[in-house]
Amino acid sequence: MTAHLAMIVGSVRRGRKAPSPARWVYERISADPRFTVEVLDLVDWALPADLSGGATTDAFADRIAAADGFVIVTPEYNHGYPAALKNAIDTVKRPWYAKPVGFVSYGGWGGGIRAVEQLRQVVAEVHMVDVRQSVAIRDLGARSGAGAPEAGGGAPGHPDEAAESDHLDAMLDQLDWWATVLSAARRDLPYPGSRRRR
């Protein structure tokens, strides 16, 4: 099967670096015949922070429901993840259930790994399956100075590039396995509590 992935871009910060790693990940997934991919860039989704619902929430829930799995691209803010990303996860409930998620993080020397470790706890609460392999892009700010259009995550010639590339390959292998297995399982046997829309 071809797994349909939603790639969620978690930073909405003005002047954000997110487009650089997000573009790298998107290009890799869209060149992979195992997947189709759509981008859900949270900067484009005015999801109400009071969780009051509405047309935008409904449309977002539909996009999540249509996906077989997720890639979350997130920076690290104060050893956590962005508030907009938590709001997006909290906005929907059942459409996340029994679907795999892989993480690509970026930040300073830690590469955003603390944000990812926290996210693993959060996604478990909405019954997602977090894949073991993640991708951590270290020191993104130093790589992508002004005028460096494609730097960060696979920046040509950067010493971390090979490891980042290998880690993304491994993450996509695991995501493909889980997406294939869980899609079939959800079809054959509805996941407990998943029948209601939201």
Ligand X SMILES: Cc1cc2nc3c(=O)[nH]c(=O)nc-3n(C[C@H](O)[C@H](O)[C@H](O)COP(=O)(O)O)c2cc1C
Residue ranges in contact with ligand X by CB under 6 A: 11, 13, 16-18, 75-79, 107-108, 110, 140-141
Q: For residues 36 and 110, which CB has a smaller minimum distance to ligand X in the complex?
A: 110
Is 129 strand, coil or helix? strand
- Residue 169: which of 25, 38, 21 has the closest Cα? 25
Taking the least distance from each CB to ligand X, the nearer of 79 and 197 is 79
Q: Which is nearer to ligand X, 22 or 98 (CB)?
A: 22
CB of 108 within 8 A of CB of 138?
yes
Q: How far is the CB of 21 from ligand X (least distance, A)?
A: 8
Cβ-based nearer residue to ligand X, 82 or 95: 82
Report, in Å, the least distance between residue 191 CB and ligand X.
Answer: 33
DSSP, res 197: -
State the burial class of residue 149 (Cβ atoms within 10 Å of its Cβ: 0-12, 13-18, 19+): exposed
Side-chain half-sphere of 155: how many Cα atoms within 13 Å?
Answer: 20
Residue 142 CB, nearest approach to ligand X (Å): 10
H or E segment to which residue 26 belongs: helix 19-30
Tokens of 31: 């060149």
In the complex, the smallest distance separating the C-beta of residue 43 from ligand X, rounded to whole angstroms, is: 10
Report the residue number, 39 or 140, with the smaller CB distance to ligand X.
Answer: 140
Pick 82 or 100: Cβ nearer ligand X: 82
Closest contact distance (angstroms) between CB of 196 and ligand X is 34
Rounded CA separation 166/169 (Å): 5
What's CA 116's distance to the chain center, in Å?
Answer: 10
Amino acid at 49: A
Report in angstroms how near the CB of residue 51 gets to ligand X at its nearest: 23
